[in-house]
């Protein structure tokens, strides 16, 4: 019998994706669920809704609440958190490299390293030097940065984002089980439970 599978859709610029990325592995293993990590970009999805940036910047009260909520959540999870002034960061390079990295056994570790660099250390993931450090720390070759910019890889990310839109995703993190959509880190446990019941 095949192992139940869930898709984890994330944008590296998403604060709540950071929480899910850091706690998904143990929870999925305990539930006996296999995870497909799916990087995509929220920018085009926001643009389709008429937004030019994150709703956390469009609505300052929502942004202030988000950072306070993140402080509570990361403290409870034992995760570091640096509040960013330049949010949302440009996550295109990180996502393109992640697509290649996820074809290796170190791919998930790389993704977690990128999230940790940004939200745990306050580094700018738009900088190639930061992505290079994340690659090196997870034992991956730095030439993935050059390969990430090739047309075929750029097209894969574009198509992943288009697929996300077609499947009704509107934010990150999102979890899909077939046609079933769960949005938000606070739905992670529910999504895993659904996966085990409906595999």
Tokens of 142: 């730095």
- Output the CA angle 32-3-155, nearest 5 degrees: 105
Choice among 14, 91, 113, 174 that is catalytic = 14
Rounded to an integer, what distance in angstroms lies between the CA atom of residue 16 and that of residue 65? 13
Exposed (0-12), middle (13-18) or buried (19+): which is 122, by Cβ within 10 Å?
A: middle
User: Taking a C-beta distance cutoff of 8 angstroms, is the pair 134, 127 a contact?
Assistant: no
Cβ contacts of 63-69, under 8 Å, gap ≥ 24: 66/15, 67/15
Rounded to an integer, what distance in angstroms lies between the CA atom of residue 11 and that of residue 8? 10
Known active-site residue 14: yes
**Residues belonging to the active site:** 14
């Amino acid at each position: 019998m095949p192992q139940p599978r869930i898709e984890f859709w994330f944008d590296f610029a998403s604060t709540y994706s950071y929480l899910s990325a850091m706690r998904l592995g143990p929870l999925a293993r305990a539930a006996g669920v296999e995870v497909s990590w799916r990087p995509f970009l929220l920018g085009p999805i926001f643009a389709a809704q008429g937004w030019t940036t994150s709703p956390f910047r469009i609505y300052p009260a929502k942004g202030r609440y988000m950072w306070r909520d993140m402080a509570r959540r990361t403290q409870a999870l034992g995760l570091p958190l640096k509040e960013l002034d330049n949010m949302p960061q440009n996550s295109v390079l990180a996502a393109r490299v992640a697509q290649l990295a996820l074809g290796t056994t170190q791919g998930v570790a790389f993704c977690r390293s990128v999230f940790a660099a940004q939200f745990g250390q306050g580094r700018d993931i738009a900088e190639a030097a930061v992505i290079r450090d994340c690659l090196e720390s997870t034992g991956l070759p730095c030439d993935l940065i050059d390969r990430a910019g090739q047309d075929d890889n750029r097209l894969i990310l574009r198509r992943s984002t288009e697929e996300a839109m077609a499947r009704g995703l509107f934010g990150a993190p999102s979890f899909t089980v077939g046609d079933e959509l769960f949005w938000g880190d606070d739905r992670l446990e529910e999504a895993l439970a659904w996966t085990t019941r409906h595999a």
